[in-house]
Amino acid sequence: MSQREENRKKSGKKLRAVGAWVVVAIVLIVLVALFYPASESPVVIPKIVDVEEGAADRWYTAEQVAQGQELFVQHCAECHGKNAEATPDWRKTDATGNYPPPPLNGSAHAWHHSLSVLRETIRQGGVPLGGVMPGFADKLSAQETDAVIAWFQSLWPDELYQAWYRMERESQ
C-alpha cells in the first residue's frame, strides 16, 4: 500500500469516527428535546421588573418606580390592591351601580390611556366622569403622580407597554 493510500484510509477512518459522534449527538439532542418536561407557562405579570435592564425602552427611571411604589401603597393600594391587581371583576358594576377599582397592572384597561389621560384621571379622580375615585391633585405633585404611573407601568409586560407606547407617541 502506498503512503498516499494509507493516508487516505486513515482520514476516511477519522471521518467515519467523527460522523458517528455527530449521529450520537443528534440522537441525544432529539431525545432530550422529546422528553424534556415542557417548562411551566411563563408568569403572566412580573411583580418586580428589572427596570435597569429595560430602561432604554421605558420612559421612566428605576428611582421613579421605587418612589411610585411607596406612594401607591400609601394612596392607591386600599382600592387598587397592593400589586395593582384590584379585582378581576372590574367590568361589572357593584350593588351601588358603580364600577369597582380596576387593576392597573396591565390586565385591565389602563393601558388604553395616554400619559396625559392617566395623569388627569389621577389628578381629578373619577367623579367628573360619573365615577367614584377621589382625585389626588391636592395630595400628589405632578412629579409624584408620574412616579406612581411609572410604578404601575413597570408591572406591564413588554408587549403591552410597547402597544401603549406606540399609542402614546401617536397621541402627541
Q: What angle do CA 154, 135, 132 make, to 5 degrees?
A: 100
Compute the Cα dihedral for 123, 67, 74, 95 and give only its sign: positive
Nearer to ligand HEC, 113 or 160 (CB): 113
The CA R_g of the chain, rounded to the nearest whole Å, is 28
Nearer to ligand HEC, 7 or 93 (CB): 93
Strand ranges inside the chain, DSSP E: none
Q: Minimum distance between the CB of residue 44 and ligand HEC, rounded to whole angstroms?
A: 18
Stretch 107-166 residues interacting with ligand HEC (CB under 6 A)? 108-110, 113, 118, 121-122, 126, 131-134, 136, 148
Q: What distance in Å separates the CA atoms of residue 69 and residue 151, rounded to the nearest whole number? A: 6
Nearer to ligand HEC, 49 or 140 (CB): 140
106 touching ligand HEC, by CB under 6 A: no
CB 159, CB 46: distance < 8 Å? no
| Footprint of ligand HEC (CB under 6 A) | 75-76, 78-80, 98-102, 104, 108-110, 113, 118, 121-122, 126, 131-134, 136, 148
